[in-house]
């Protein structure tokens, strides 16, 4: 209920099990089975399936309530949004068990709910700006992109007929421009009104940074602009916000990941495709402390790109100001939960959020709340082989190093200023995990000694507009064509120090990426991506241990429920499948079954 205390659902998780490692959260198997069976819809929460969903939601409320006091935005039967939780959690502040008994809401829930109702039409599918993580008093939010005119004037089921449920599939009833629609409409101020409420909600949540993951400026389908985005709003209504365009491949690209035996290393998105028109654009004051050459972003493989974008998001939320962050793609249920989940798990691994949750519990919360209850279409994605959900949790092995830790930022800020820098004694006194690598630009030590970022108070939005990398930047890699225009593949020899000495019965460990070669601290027996990692003898950091436990628990649960399955033809993709067969039949494209 609105304003309800967080512990209201404590009975949901009273039964726990102490099974063999990796520890399993009670109900995780049921959650994954339900998730792989059907897409969550708030209005369908009735009958047998409804009781399962009710248990899942109740468990999420309990897990949130362990560390936070919160209020609830009611979305019963999907009255606000059909693919959002029935009970949307609004985290207010961290709290201990004692403080929960004295919980007093700091928000007017009725006012917030009214603002949400008014603003929802501004965004695609009514997926309004929703806070999902609370970190240092800042709200980290998610949503879909801005809706176009067609949806504003008539949100019907028309788009579902043509979309097949794809993440970026939209259809308008008429091929009309915004200007034409404004002329036909008696209310030429519709955008001002609707997007005005969206902006009010963003300001209410103290959001200042908006990160747009779309590879397009506007989504075009059937020759029509069917969505918009803040970065191309003609009236510049979002000019007071700090806008970041960080284009990231859509869910369809992750079929290439599956076809390559779930190997993200060396898999590069093809940025030369006709529909890709959104350049990377980041305000300069956000880039100076990251030691990343952003001009090379089109040459990054999927590992490097995900790592670097995560570093950027972490640096934003660790900045000194009190502003929140919004992350969105098109529909907000594929790429958006990927980065929301990585942020949640990274901050949790540092002990900065959800401090009381165990690895199996934070895994359950992330899968249930960030993915299932916010409408990710796992059934459809599995049928097409677009395994972005699996990629998210398997990717945890690439962010275990201290360069992704938010604790290092706090240590750096707390260090007293010195004119002479560190002495030899200072360095010797630092623990090894605090020092980091003396050769890595992303290490803790190099971050401690570097100058602080530019003044966060100057928001002169002097953005970096990056053009595609020239041919010379590609010379270092050996390219080969893949089975799809989605990707370009490259490979390179691994330095000898990246390879671990052979262990009895173990296969050579794979390097995670060029920017975190030391992050693969587990050896995999066999060749299956679902093989639960075996721990090495080397001592692990707390962050590394916690993230590896989450990943191991996910792999164990996933293998026993969903598994890595061969892509089956999707009913909605029947025409596309026939076209694909024709293309291959006439020799225009090779088969994608070969291992690369």
Q: Name the strand (E) or helix (H) holding 432.
A: helix 432-435
The C-alpha atoms of residue 312 and residue 326 are separated, in whole angstroms, by: 13
Nearest to 515 by CA among 432, 398, 342, 409: 398
- DSSP code at position 368: I
Q: Give the DSSP per-residue string, 211-227.
A: EE--SSSS-EETTEE-B
Given the residues 141, 329, 392, 428, select the one marked as catalytic. Answer: 329
CA 596 to chain centre: 27
The C-alpha atoms of residue 168 and residue 330 are separated, in whole angstroms, by: 6
- Written as six digits, the tokens of 163 are 């979309």
Pairing outcome for strands 324-328 and 138-143: parallel
Facing residues of 274 across strands? none
Instruction: Yes or no: say if 73 and 90 are a contact pair by the CB < 8 Å rule.
Output: yes
Instruction: Yes or no: say if 483 and 591 are a contact pair by the CB < 8 Å rule.
Output: yes
Instruction: Say whether 329 is catalytic.
Output: yes
Instruction: Yes or no: say if 72 and 91 are a contact pair by the CB < 8 Å rule.
Output: no
- Written as six digits, the tokens of 267 are 């898999």
- Written as six digits, the tokens of 84 are 């959002």
Distances (CA, A) of 381 to 37, 128, 329, 339, 568: 12, 23, 16, 17, 10
At 138 the three-state DSSP class reads strand
Instruction: Yes or no: say if 55 and 27 are a contact pair by the CB < 8 Å rule.
Output: yes
- DSSP code at position 79: S
> 518 φ, ψ to 5°?
-95, 5
* Catalytically active residues, by annotation: 329
């Amino acid at each position: 209920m609105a304003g309800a205390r967080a512990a209201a659902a404590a009975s949901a998780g009273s039964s726990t099990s102490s099974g063999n490692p990796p520890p399993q959260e009670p109900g995780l198997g049921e959650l994954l089975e339900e998730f792989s069976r059907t897409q969550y819809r708030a209005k369908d929460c009735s009958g047998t399936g409804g009781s399962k969903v009710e248990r899942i939601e109740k468990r999420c409320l309990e897990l949130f309530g362990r560390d936070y006091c919160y209020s609830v935005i009611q979305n019963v039967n999907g009255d606000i949004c059909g693919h959002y939780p029935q009970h949307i959690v609004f985290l207010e502040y961290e709290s201990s068990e004692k403080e929960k008994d004295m919980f007093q809401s700091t928000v007017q829930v009725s006012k917030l709910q009214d603002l949400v109702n008014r603003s929802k039409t501004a965004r695609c599918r009514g997926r309004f700006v929703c806070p999902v993580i609370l970190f240092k008093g800042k709200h980290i939010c998610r949503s879909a992109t801005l809706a176009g005119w067609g949806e504003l004037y008539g949100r019907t089921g028309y788009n579902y007929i043509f979309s097949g449920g794809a993440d970026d599939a939209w259809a308008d009833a008429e091929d009309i421009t915004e200007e034409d629609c404004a002329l036909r409409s008696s209310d030429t101020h519709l955008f001002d009104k609707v997007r005005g409420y969206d902006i009010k909600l963003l300001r209410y949540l103290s959001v200042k940074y908006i990160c747009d993951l779309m590879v397009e400026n506007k989504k075009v389908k059937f020759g029509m602009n069917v969505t918009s985005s803040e970065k191309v709003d003609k009236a510049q209504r979002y000019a007071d916000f700090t806008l970041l365009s960080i284009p990231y491949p859509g869910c369809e690209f992750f079929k290439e990941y599956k076809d390559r035996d779930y190997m993200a290393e060396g898999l590069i998105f093809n940025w030369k495709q006709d529909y890709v028109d959104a350049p990377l654009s980041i305000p300069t004051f956000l880039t100076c402390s990251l030691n990343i050459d952003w001009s090379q972003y089109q040459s990054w493989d999927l590992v490097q790109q995900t790592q670097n974008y995560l570093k950027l998001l972490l640096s934003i939320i660790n900045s000194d100001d009190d502003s929140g962050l919004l992350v969105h793609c098109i529909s907000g249920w594929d790429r958006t939960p990927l980065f929301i989940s990585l942020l949640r798990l990274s901050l949790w691994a540092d002990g900065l959020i959800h401090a009381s949750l165990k690895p199996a519990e934070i895994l359950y919360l992330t899968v249930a709340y960030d993915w299932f209850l916010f409408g990710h279409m796992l059934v459809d994605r599995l049928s097409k082989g677009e395994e972005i959900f699996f990629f998210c949790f398997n990717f945890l092995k690439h962010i275990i190093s201290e360069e992704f830790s938010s604790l290092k930022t706090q240590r750096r800020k707390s260090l007293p200023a010195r004119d002479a820098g560190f002495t030899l004694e200072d360095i010797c006194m630092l623990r090894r995990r605090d020092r980091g690598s003396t050769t890595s630009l992303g290490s803790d030590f190099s971050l401690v000694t570097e100058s602080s970022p530019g003044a966060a108070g100057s928001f002169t939005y002097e953005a970096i507009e990056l053009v595609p990398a020239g041919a010379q930047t590609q010379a270092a890699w050996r390219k080969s064509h893949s089975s799809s225009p989605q990707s370009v593949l490259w490979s390179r020899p691994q330095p000898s120090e990246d390879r671990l000495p052979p262990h009895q019965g173990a296969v050579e460990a794979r390097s995670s990426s060029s920017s975190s070669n030391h992050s693969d601290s587990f050896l995999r027996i066999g060749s299956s991506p679902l093989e639960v990692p075996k721990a090495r003898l080397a001592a692990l950091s707390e962050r590394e241990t916690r993230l590896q436990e989450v990943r191991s628990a996910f792999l164990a649960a996933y293998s026993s429920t969903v598994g890595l399955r061969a892509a089956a033809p999707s009913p909605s993709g029947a025409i596309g499948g026939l076209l694909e067969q024709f293309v291959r039949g006439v020799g225009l494209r090779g088969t994608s079954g070969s291992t690369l």
